[in-house]
């Protein structure tokens, strides 16, 4: 049976997360000190160390939380149309825009993006890799498409997410359909 988290613990972790994201918006993680983070969060250093080992541990907790949300979104893939899935994906990024802008920015540690891409590839391969001889080709296809998707999401987020999630889903669907229909003609 899962133990329900203490409200104070959850609140404290949210305070650390908000302060961390604010600081990370202004400077690279290497320049953020525990003292500065605690001052921004309004929480003492002892409390920080009761939750996290260091700044990087906090980052990993935040990334893991985001990754779980992404996995839950990906789990809905078989029950949705492609466009519905794209809307869900863009909604996830929009609802976590401050965090995602930092995690997938060009200046970020690409380990998180790589983790997302590896997970997506495993889902993609489990759905589409029915022929062992095509696995490598499908991996190339996935890497090409996913790299474009990350760039598209990045551009959308850096541009202030002016377009709706539905509009972005339609654009992505159109691009992917154009690519695959063109590839089918070759």
Judged by average pLDDT, the poorest of 63-67, 76-80, 91-95 is: 76-80
Phi, psi (rounded to 5 degrees) for 151: -60, -40
Domains and CATH numbers, the chain: 7-52 (1.10.10.60), 59-185 (1.10.357)
* Predicted pLDDT at 184: 45
pLDDT level of residue 4 (50, 70, 90 thresholds): low
Whether pLDDT at 56 is above 50: yes
* Predicted pLDDT at 186: 41
Whether pLDDT at 185 is above 50: no
Cα separation values, 28 from 103, 104, 148, Å: 12, 14, 25
Whether pLDDT at 123 is above 90: no
Q: How many helices (H) and strands (E) does the chain have?
A: 9, 0
pLDDT level of residue 183 (50, 70, 90 thresholds): very low
**pLDDT cut 90: percent of the chain above it:** 41
Distance of alpha carbon 144 from alpha carbon 124, whole angstroms: 13
Looking at per-residue pLDDT, the higher value among 105 and 25 belongs to: 25
* DSSP element (H, E) containing 59: helix 55-75
**163 contact partners, CB below 8 Å, separation of at least 6:** 156, 171
Average pLDDT over residues 19-44: 92
Whether pLDDT at 50 is above 60: yes
pLDDT level of residue 5 (50, 70, 90 thresholds): low
Phi-psi region of 161 (alpha: psi -120 to 50; beta: other; left: phi over 0): left
* Predicted pLDDT at 1: 43
Task: Tell me how far the alpha carbon of residue 174 is from its chain's centroid.
Answer: 22
Looking at per-residue pLDDT, the higher value among 121 and 183 belongs to: 121
Whether 80 and 88 have beta carbons less than 8 Å apart is answered as yes
pLDDT level of residue 180 (50, 70, 90 thresholds): low
């Amino acid at each position: 049976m899962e133990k329900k988290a203490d409200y104070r613990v959850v609140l404290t972790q949210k305070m650390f997360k908000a302060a961390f994201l604010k600081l990370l918006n202004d400077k690279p993680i290497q320049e953020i000190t525990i003292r500065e983070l605690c001052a921004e969060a309004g929480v003492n250093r002892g409390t920080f160390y009761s939750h996290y080992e260091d700044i990087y541990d906090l980052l990993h907790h935040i990334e893991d939380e985001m990754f779980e949300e992404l996995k839950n979104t990906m789990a809905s893939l078989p029950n949705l149309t492609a466009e519905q899935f794209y809307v869900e994906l863009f909604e996830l990024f929009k609802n976590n825009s401050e965090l995602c802008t930092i995690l997938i920015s060009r200046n970020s540690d690409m380990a998180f993006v790589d983790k997302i891409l590896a997970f997506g590839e495993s889902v993609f391969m489990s759905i589409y890799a029915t022929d062992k001889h095509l696995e490598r080709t499908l991996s190339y296809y996935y890497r090409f498409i996913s790299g474009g998707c990350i760039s598209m999401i990045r551009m959308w987020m850096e541009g202030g997410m002016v377009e709706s999630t539905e509009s972005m889903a339609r654009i992505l669907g159109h691009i992917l359909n154009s690519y695959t229909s063109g590839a089918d003609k070759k």
